Amino acid sequence: MYRKTLFWTVIVLALTVVSGESLGQTDSNLEGLAAEDSKMIRPRLVPEAIPEDLTNHEPGKAEPLRFDKGYCVVQNDNDSVQFYYAGWVSGEGFAVYMDPGQCGVYPYPFQITEVHFYLYDDGAVVWPVQIQVSVRDLVLGDKCNGPGDSLYSEIHSLPIDSAYPNLIHLDLYQPYWVTGPLFLEIVYTGGTDTPYPSLLMTDTSDVPDTCNDWFYFYDDTSFAYYEWYEMWLPWAPPWPGNAVIRAAGYTSEECIDPVHFVFTDNTEDSYSIVVDSALLDSMELEECDEIGVFADTGGGLLCVGASVYYPDDLPIPLTAWKDDSQTDIKDGYTPGDTMYFRVWSKNQDRQECALAYYEVGDGHFETGLFSQLWLEAPCIPPICGVDPDSLGFGTVMVGDSLDLTFTITNTGGGTLSDTVSEACEDYSLVGDSTYSLMAGQSDTFTVRFKPQSAGTKICTIGTGNDICSDVDCFGEGQEYSPVQVTLPDTCAESGDTVAIPIYVDDVTGQEIDSAEITLVYADSILGGNCDLTTTQNTIAENWGPPTCSSADGSISIAMAGVSPLSGSGVLVYVAFIVTGSSGVNTFIHFDHMQFNQGDPPSSCEDGLFRIVEAPLCGDVNGDGDINSVDIVFMLDCLFKNGPCPCPWWVGDCNSDEEISSADVVCLIDYMFKGGPPPGC
């Protein structure tokens, strides 16, 4: 990547004037970045090059003192010039990050009028030397991404007397305004590979920010930007400091010319306007604010003149420029056009229309020799629109929330600004609550209703501005109704495995997306079986298999899903192994039952479990005999919500795997019509 012809050398800066005639030279204790072919250069230093009475730095390195108002030199280096890099070719150069923010509190817009730098001639340079100076933006706004697009550039030819130790002060042909940090670039553009003078760098004590300095370098295939240390890593340290390139000019504190209002000057003719004073929101404009005058072109307003406002230098002269009739472009006013005015606040970065009150003139260009007036802005006061001005939230369950929005719009002029607020327990504002709206702008605010208890909840959202209506909010908080959860009475033979359903009432609309259950029982009678506990064929089937754990005398189940439960029926089948002897029983008790985080609540009904001997098929009431009492028992089970056979299959007389009226018919046929016996 690097050409072998490139090398480092050290510029010896120690000067000793002997009798005003000679300069002593020092060649000890100074080291450059050592390449094999590097060499020491002792430049011929002429004491008169930078007279000491014009500098506040060491001879040969100084910025001259300047007392111009707002003048500032933006630099990253510390003036300790020492290194240079030989072997430049046409098209290569340096780009250095510049931050005019170092010039004061209000640096922008910053007007670049000069570029300062050194060029070192090792004796082989052919003068004059042609360079291109460019202002570039930052890639993606970050200096560490390197230089971006060229915003402005000029080409200059430098004579031989530009060489070091002279500090070059290159005046731009046209000053350039910037409103933020930039890269200032110098590139050789001579078009030949004749030796070029080197841009200089500071010594190792001036440690650079690695993102400030970039090489624009030809790597034998193409030109590209290289970050500072990327170029030095192949060389042994010490490495150089910053590249000495500086931007000089004027900060906005000078406010030389308008920068906000843009117009074409020096057209065909002009018209004079005298502004005695100007007010914005009943306060006088501040220094560096601007006034612009506009004409209606038929396709919109055109700025035809502007002035910077100085409260201490009233009245303010304002020149309006007439349209150049020799061009096809409308670039100024036409005599008789109505005059329109705008003001711009620099500190607020705010533009407003302004009403003119005339002492001389009638509001039209070229009525009389001049116009004299004072201005008041904004033209139209802000007008506030709130939509809607009331929010109805309806019924929201306690603990849940609902968001609704309203919008504030400035349907007038000026600026509408304030803060939205609330002071209600059940209502809150979500997001930013401030607004500042120019004409036609709007902002939307979100109100959240989250009732803490049941009942009607009312709140007024304050908009903070007397011209804006407040927003009334209405909502109803409602407690969740308890969900009925039931374990049915059950029986089975010793040694059986039984799946006992847990039933729930209709849970539609309750937004249940999780459940936790713990059941306790006599561990001498039942043992929990997690392997066979399931949500298959239940209203929770979409949640997938439950999480289950069991211990002596208890079983715990947890389940959850994305979709809330709906409907009624079996929530889960809990499996048990019957371990006790015939004739004993135990209550299966809800030790813990919770939906979601406790909403809705639950009302639980425990179930009784009995161990029975091998039952007789058709003896549904368990009295040891098949008779008409069993027919009545079956009818009560099926049609009167009475108890059902336990175990259930005792009533499945026709062996069709369910209990229905067909089983009643089976019993009647057996008992009264000579039919076959029950075949469970």
Instruction: Tell me if the bond preceding 175 is cis, omega within 30° of 0.
Output: no
Tokens of 631: 């027919």
The whole-number average pLDDT for the span 391-397 is 94
Q: What is the mean pLDDT of residues 411-420?
A: 84
Q: Which residues sit opposite 266 in a β-bridge?
A: none
Q: Given pLDDT bands bounded at 50, 70 and 90, which one contains residue 31?
A: very low
Tokens at 508, concatenated: 């539609």
Paired strand residues for 605:
486
CB distance 214 to 227 below 8 Å:
yes
Please give the backbone phi and psi of residue 634, each rounded to the nearest 5 degrees, phi first: -65, -40
Neighbours of 675 (CB within 10 A): 14
142: buried, middle or exposed (CB in 10 Å: 19+, 13-18, 0-12)? Answer: exposed
Task: Return the residue matching tokens 């003192």.
Answer: 65
Specify whether the CB–CB gap between 547 and 558 falls below 8 A: yes
**Amino acid (one-letter) located at 523:** D
Cα–Cα dist 278/373, whole Å = 9
Per-residue pLDDT at 68:
62
Q: Which residues of 199-238 are buried (b: 16+ CB within 10 A; e: fewer)?
A: bbbbbbebebeeebbbbbbbeeeeeebbebeebbeebeeb
Residue 512's pLDDT band (cuts 50, 70, 90): very high
pLDDT value of residue 64: 56
pLDDT for 96 = 96
pLDDT the model gives residue 58: 43
3-state secondary structure of 375: strand
pLDDT of 47 strictly over 50: no
* pLDDT beyond 80 at 268: no
Residue 602 neighbours by CB distance under 10 Å: 19
Average pLDDT of the segment spanning 578-602: 92
Give yes or no for residue 539 having a pLDDT over 50.
yes
Residue 598, phi then psi, degrees to nearest 5: 120, -5
Helix, strand, or coil here: 16? strand
Tokens of 521: 């029982």
To the nearest 10°, the Cα dihedral for 136, 138, 141, 142?
-150
Contact by Cβ (8 Å): 429, 445: yes
d(CA 131, CA 620) in angstroms, rounded, equals 110
Checking if the pLDDT of 417 tops 50, the result is yes
Average pLDDT over residues 165-181: 91
pTM > 0.75: no
d(CA 268, CA 258): 21
The average pLDDT across 469-493 equals 92
Q: Which of 36-50, 155-169, 325-339, 404-418 has the lowest mean pLDDT?
A: 36-50
Domains parsed from the chain with CATH numbers: 66-250 (2.60.120), 270-377 (2.60.40), 384-478 (2.60.40.10), 483-611 (2.60.40.680), 616-680 (1.10.1330.10)
CA 2, CA 6: separation in Å to the nearest integer?
Answer: 8
Q: Would you tell me how many other CB atoms lie within 10 Å of the CB of residue 4?
A: 9
CA angle 85, 91, 92 (to 5 degrees): 25
| Res 80: pLDDT | 83
SS3 146: coil
pLDDT category at 412 given cuts 50, 70, 90 is: confident
Euclidean distance between CA atoms 57 and 65, whole angstroms = 10
Q: Backbone phi, then psi, for 143, in 5-degree steps?
A: -60, -30
CA-nearest of 633, 637, 669 to 654 is 669
Q: How far lies 566's CA from each of 484, 508, 509, 541, in Å?
A: 14, 4, 7, 11
List the structure tokens of 227. 């970050």
Q: Contact at 8 Å (CB) between 278 and 285? A: yes
pLDDT the model gives residue 24: 26
β-partners of residue 473 are: 391, 459
CA atoms of 407 and 126, how far apart (whole Å): 70
Whole-angstrom distance, CA of residue 183 vs CA of residue 94: 10
Q: What is the pLDDT of residues 311-368, one digit of tens each?
A: 888 999 999 999 998 888 889 999 999 999 999 999 898 999 998 989 999 999 999 9
E-strand spans in 506-546? 514-520, 526-534
d(CA 294, CA 287): 21
Cα distance between residue 479 and residue 600, in whole Å: 8
pLDDT in tens, 197-223: 888 888 878 888 889 999 998 877 888
- Over the stretch 229-253, which tens digit does the pLDDT of each residue have? 777 766 667 778 888 999 999 886 5
DSSP 41: B
Out of 18-27, 435-444, 618-627, least confident range? 18-27
